[in-house]
Chains A and B, each alone.
Chain A
Amino acid sequence: SQKIEQNSEALNIQEGKTATLTCNYTNYSPAYLQWYRQDPGRGPVFLLLIRENEKEKRKERLKVTFDTTLKQSLFHITASQPADSATYLCALRNQAGTALIFGKGTTLSVSS
């Protein structure tokens, strides 16, 4: 069965630094991978989608990479701000194409 792992449960960084979050998956090659942000007490909010034929995607201070050889996606937030503090979830479509499988998330804390 497909597995998706986000290696760090928590990541603490200083304001202005770049945060890098990791998402690894096993057992098959998804057509795309998505990243969501979840704030406490709220539902996840979609941030970025990257397809298997794309190496990199950017949106403002966010950058996502997708390495299908390593079976890994990296999510970067440059010039991080305290407002970026949240839990970030990666998700990919299961092999049957019927559902998104979510990682357990990495909680990012940006201190000023």
Chain B
Amino acid sequence: DTAVSQTPKYLVTQMGNDKSIKCEQNLGHDTMYWYKQDSKKFLKIMFSYNNKELIINETVPNRFSPKSPDKAHLNLHINSLELGDSAVYFCASSLAHLSTSGETQYFGPGTRLLVL
């Protein structure tokens, strides 16, 4: 009963290709996120969706496009992949969007993307 799942776990592809990563949560949460963790292990927010609506779009190239078909799914599509896109991408979810009371985030296992 995986709470937050991502597919694929590993993705090796050539520069210039387009790829997608899928994320699903079965926790009944309203909010989902995409994070990027680079080679220095720095975890940075990319996007946040609350009830299928985009909340955050950090400084991310527009080659990255999130799509939320329903509140249990948040997919990430990447166009024209570049070498610098190589990283681990984590999906996460929380019960509601960040509030002053604090929302615990539940992370998926990550997708390791390697662009050659």
Contact = CB atoms under 8 A, between A and B. Distances in A.
Interface of A: 31-32, 34, 41-46, 49, 51, 87, 89, 93, 97-102, 104-105
Given A46-B106, A89-B43, A104-B40, A31 B56 contact: no
A2 to B, nearest CB: 12
Contacts of A44: 43, 90, 105, 107
B98 A43 contact: no
A24 to B, nearest CB: 16
Contact of B44 (A45, A98, A102): A102
A104 B107 contact: no
Interface string B85-103: 0000010100000111110
Nearest to A87: B41
Interface string B24-47: 000000000100000011111100
Contact of A43 (B40, B102, B104, B110): B110
21 contacts: A31-B100, A31-B101, A32-B100, A32-B101, A42-B110, A43-B4, A43-B107, A43-B109, A44-B105, A44-B107, A45-B107, A97-B99, A98-B48, A98-B55, A99-B33, A99-B98, A100-B45, A102-B43, A104-B40, A105-B41, A105-B43
B66 interface: no
Contacts of A104: 40-42
Main secondary structure of the interface of A (DSSP, over half): strand
Interface residues of B, number: 26
A99 B58 contact: yes
B92 A43 contact: yes
Given A44-B43, A46-B106, 10 more contacts: A41-B110, A43-B108, A43-B110, A97-B98, A98-B98, A99-B56, A99-B98, A100-B98, A101-B45, A102-B43
Contact of A46 (B40, B58, B105, B108): B105
Contacts of A32: 100-102
